[in-house]
Structure 1
Amino acid sequence: MTKDDCFYLGTIVSKFSFKGEVQIKLDTDEPETYKHLESVLVEINQKLVPFFILQSNLQRSNLLRVKLEDVDDEADALELIKKDVYLPLTELPELDDDQFYYHEVTNYKVFDKHYGEFGKIKSVDSTSPQALFIIYKGNTEILVPVNDVFIEKIDKANQEIHFNLPDGLLELYLD
């Protein structure tokens, strides 16, 4: 399994005990969804290594304390600190029709209420405080904030997102 088949769940941020428990800082709005996982994939040396979860407990809102199989002591746990944790895409919860995961909208056509079709989504940059759709029209890169106020309609069947963007936003890129 490759990272393309997975989604980022979080990062192992600390050891919890001398028995090899670790804490995963979850990158999700709904951490309780992941309280009872059977396994996770940990990125070690650019490979995804599966670990079975023997026990888990949600600590504070986004910290999942886990006991991983074959991680038996503090030294084993310390080797996993700062490692990213993934799950297969098949583990993502189903969303309503008006919701989407960032990876789902890649290659969606985008339309503005006033401008019409203005490109395709290449990706979503979620590394900044404001997530951004990265859209290309030819060789021009257009950045649009991921904001419910701007999204009028998501058409998953036709792979389209329809916006009502603020005046002047597209003109910054297209004029």
Structure 2
Amino acid sequence: MSEQAVRSERDDHVVLGKLTSPYGVKGWLKVYSHTSPMDGILEYPEWVLRQDGTLTRHRLLQGRRHGKGLVALLEGIDSREAAERAAGAEVLLSKTELPELDGDEYYWHQLEGLTVVTREGMVLGRVAYLFETGANDVLVVRGDPQDVPPAIDDRERLLPFLPEEVIVEVDLTGGVMTVAWDPYF
């Protein structure tokens, strides 16, 4: 079976990248990767594609760097027309297939949604998302006084992800990140 419907909850997967557009006439697609390094996405032999709320599973037949990006050929997508239909799909991976990390390392999806609290116990909000800069990763923390526990205000703060310097402790089980940060900054 080259294409098989997959039933799964959204929270069971992480987004590895996106199929952007066809490349050539034989079903190849350009791939935008969220992995670091960029071609790390090619190490996963099976991709789950999400498009218009539908999940399908495809085996990665070939993939390689092309210019500044990537191209891939997936089982079941063997013509330009099929590639055009697949363009725009997100490339997902089951969280259970992610490699194990060391104790002080985290996947971004694990940090999203954590309650951010100062050492003094003031709730700044929740981690909305992260982004890369040249120097370090940055946490976007959004406050919401309606949350439980309530944040001190409704501000959005950008905190550098600097372990030991700004990030004091990450408790994934408790859903809390403790930070050394001035709440009025």
TM-score (norm 1): 0.77
Give the AA of the match of 1:153: E
Q: In 2, are the aligned partners of 1:3 and 1:48 still within 8 Å (CA)?
A: no
Per the alignment, do residues 21 and 143 of structure 1 end up closer, same or farther by CA in structure 2, a change over 3 Å counting? same
Give the Cα–Cα distance (whole angstroms) in 2 for the partners of residues 59 and 132 of structure 1.
32
1:11 paired to 2:18: yes
Q: In 2, are the aligned partners of 1:98 and 1:153 still within 8 Å (CA)?
A: no
Per the alignment, do residues 146 and 5 of structure 1 end up closer, same or farther by CA in structure 2, a change over 3 Å counting? farther
How many corresponding residue pairs? 166
Aligned to 1:46: 53
Q: How far 1:76 sits from its partner (Å)?
A: 0.9
Q: Deviations over 1:77-126 (max 9, x none)?
A: 1111122221111222333333322332356443313x3242663x5234
Q: In 2, are the aligned partners of 1:15 and 1:77 still within 8 Å (CA)?
A: yes
Give the Cα–Cα distance (whole angstroms) in 1 for the partners of residues 142 and 48 of structure 2.
28
TM-score (norm 2): 0.73
Alignment RMSD: 2.8
Aligned to 1:161: 177
Q: Tell me, which stretches of 5 or more residues in structure 2 are unaligned?
A: 1-7
Per the alignment, do residues 60 and 99 of structure 1 end up closer, same or farther by CA in structure 2, a change over 3 Å counting? farther
Q: Which moved more, 1:49-58 or 1:135-144?
A: 135-144
Aligned to 2:39: 32
Residue pairs, 1:83-162, within 5 angstroms: 83-105=89-111, 108-113=114-119, 115-118=120-123, 121=126, 123-126=127-130, 131-135=139-143, 136=147, 137-138=149-150, 140-149=153-162, 150-156=166-172, 158-162=174-178
1:64 paired to 2:70: yes
Q: In structure 2, the residue corresponding to 1:78 is in which secondary structure? A: helix
Q: In 1, are the aligned partners of 2:28 and 2:73 still within 8 Å (CA)?
A: yes
Q: In structure 2, the residue corresponding to 1:23 is in which secondary structure? A: strand
Give the AA of the match of 1:67: L
Regions of 4+ moved over 6 Å? none
Give the Cα–Cα distance (whole angstroms) in 2 for the partners of residues 94 and 167 of structure 1.
33
Give the Cα–Cα distance (whole angstroms) in 2 for the partners of residues 41 and 153 of structure 1.
33
Q: Tell me, which stretches of 5 or more residues in structure 1 are unaligned?
A: 170-175
Give the Cα–Cα distance (whole angstroms) in 2 for the partners of residues 92 and 146 of structure 1.
26
Give the AA of the match of 1:5: D
Q: In 2, are the aligned partners of 1:10 and 1:25 still within 8 Å (CA)?
A: yes
